[in-house]
Structure formats: C-alpha cells, structure tokens
C-alpha cells in the first residue's frame, strides 16, 4: 500500500523536520523540494547567470543534475558531484531563491524532476510550497503548516546558529517575511493552501507533537485506503 503525503507552508513552519519524522515513521522516502530550488539558485549564482534571465535559468533547470544521498537523520545534496548541502542554506541563497522560483518556465522544468522523485513504489513525503496544489494534487494526505512569524523566525535563527551560521534574529525575521510575500504573490503556482488540505498551526506545538499529529493522520488515511 502506498501513501503520498504533501506538506506545504511558509518558511520556518517546521515542514522539513516534520516531513523527515513522518517519512521515517512510515518507512517511505522524503523529498525536500525547497532544496531543488535552492540548488538551482546556487548553480545560477556560481555560473554568473543573471537572475532575471528566465530562459537561461530554465535551461539550467533542465540540466540540473541533483542527487539526494541519505545521511543519518538527514540527507546530503549533491549537484554535479559537488556536495552543496551547507552552501544552499547560506543567507545569500535564501535571499535569492524566490527570484528564481517565480518563473513559470523554471517551475515547469523542475516539476519534471519532482515528478520523477515522487515515483517510489512505497509512496513519498514531499514538502514545499505547491506540493498539494501542483506536484501531488492526488496526495492521500495534504497538510498546510503555519506558525506565527516570530515563532518561525526564532526557529530558523536557532537552526542556523546550530549549523554554524553567524546570523541576527531580526535579519532572519525580515528575510522570512520577504520570502513568504514573494512566494505568495508570484503568479506561477504560488504558496497557498490546497482546498482539501488540513491546516496545522505549530506555534504552540513542539516539532515532536506536530510530527505525531501528522503521522497519526497518515496512519488513519492509510487504514481507510486499505478498507476501500
Ligand atoms: O523550503 P525552503 O525554504 O528551503 O524553500 C526555498 C524556496 O524555494 C522558497 O522560498 C520558495 C521556493 N520553493 C518553491 O517555490 N516551491 C517549492 N515547492 C519549494 C520551494
């Protein structure tokens, strides 16, 4: 029995941590689609491609050679043989990724990669901004995760400090706010909740509590599927 799980929401709502927990618990692969957009942005910056050149970005997206390698609790991101796991989390990339993600041609090319990565016989947990609305419209479980901006900024700040980045809380908050606005306002598959998604505000929950809720919902849907 397979199960497809779509987790969307703004930056810092806990999507990737919760998605990883749920994937581990269900024994199915996890695909971090934000890492795909970040990898393309990293490559564009390194290849000096102007971030307003949609055609050039789409061409780069078509040839994006990305690999996710499991690494304990998380996964490493390899592009053309280079490990860019840490590099794609740099504030420079976070600040530019929404510029790249807004182009319809780019999104179309990356949709092909995401569709391929979702084709596991076991099922998949994918997180991003348009998973429930565009990438997995037939997902068995759709979750829209939110949390107050201050809570999301604090979580992202703590996470970046743990990863060794030298950051300021205020700057992290402004960056998240700007990115959410850009992701919500773009014309091509913007950040929005699918009509059949379940909304979960994680402001007052620990990540463990939120993960347990999402995993419980997945178990229920899986059981119901078996009965149908
Ligand atoms: O999940 P993340 O914060 O790593 O995502 C980085 C950016 O990538 C996000 O601000 C917008 C873009 N993105 C997107 O447009 N669609 C997705 N499915 C995932 C990410």
User: How far is residue 124 from each of residues 73, 120, 173, measured CA to CA in Å?
Assistant: 16, 7, 31
Q: Across residues 70-91, what is the average pLDDT?
A: 92
Q: Across residues 158-182, what is the average pLDDT?
A: 94
Give the pLDDT confidence score for residue 193 in this predicted structure.
98
Q: Hey, which of 33, 42, 111, 182 would you mutate to test ligand 1's pocket, going by the most ligand atoms within 8 Å of its Cβ?
A: 33
Give the pLDDT confidence score for residue 188 in this predicted structure.
96
CA pair distance 224, 62, nearest whole angstrom: 38
| Residue 228, pLDDT above cutoff 70 | no
Give the pLDDT confidence score for residue 227 in this predicted structure.
62
| Residue 36, pLDDT above cutoff 80 | yes
Give the pLDDT confidence score for residue 72 in this predicted structure.
83
Q: Which CATH number fits domain 3-223: 3.40.50.300, 3.40.1010.10, 1.10.3720.10, 3.90.1150.10?
A: 3.40.50.300
Give the burial class of 188: count Cβ atoms within 10 A of its Cβ; 0-12 exposed, 13-18 middle, 19 or more buried: middle
Band of pLDDT at residue 109, cut at 50, 70 and 90: very high
Q: Hey, which of 12, 101, 104, 113 would you mutate to test ligand 1's pocket, going by the most ligand atoms within 8 Å of its Cβ?
A: 101
Atom 5 of ligand 1: nearest residue by CA position: 34
The residue ranges of every structural domain in the chain are 3-223
pTM (whole model) above 0.85: yes
């Amino acid at each position: 029995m397979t199960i497809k799980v779509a987790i969307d929401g703004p930056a810092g709502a806990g999507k990737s941590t919760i998605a990883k927990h749920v994937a581990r618990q269900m024994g199915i692969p996890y695909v971090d689609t934000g890492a795909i957009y970040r990898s393309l942005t990293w490559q564009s910056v390194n290849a000096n491609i102007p971030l307003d050149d949609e055609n050039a970005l789409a061409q780069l997206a078509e040839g994006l050679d990305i690999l996710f390698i499991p690494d304990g609790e998380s996964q490493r991101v390899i592009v053309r043989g280079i490990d860019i796991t840490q590099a794609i989390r740099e504030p420079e990339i976070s600040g530019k990724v929404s510029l790249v993600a807004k182009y319809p041609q780019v999104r179309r090319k990356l949709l092909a990669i995401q569709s391929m990565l979702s084709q596991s016989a076991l099922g998949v947990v994918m997180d991003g901004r348009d998973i429930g609305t565009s990438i997995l419209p037939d997902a068995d479980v759709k979750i829209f995760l939110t949390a107050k901006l201050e809570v999301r900024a604090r979580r992202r700040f703590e996470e970046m400090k743990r990863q060794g980045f030298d950051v300021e809380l205020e700057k992290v908050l402004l960056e998240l706010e700007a990115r959410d606005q850009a992701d919500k306002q773009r014309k091509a598959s913007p950040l929005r909740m699918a009509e059949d998604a379940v909304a979960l505000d994680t402001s007052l929950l620990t990540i463990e509590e939120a993960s347990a809720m999402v995993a419980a919902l997945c178990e229920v849907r899986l059981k119901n599927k078996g009965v149908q």
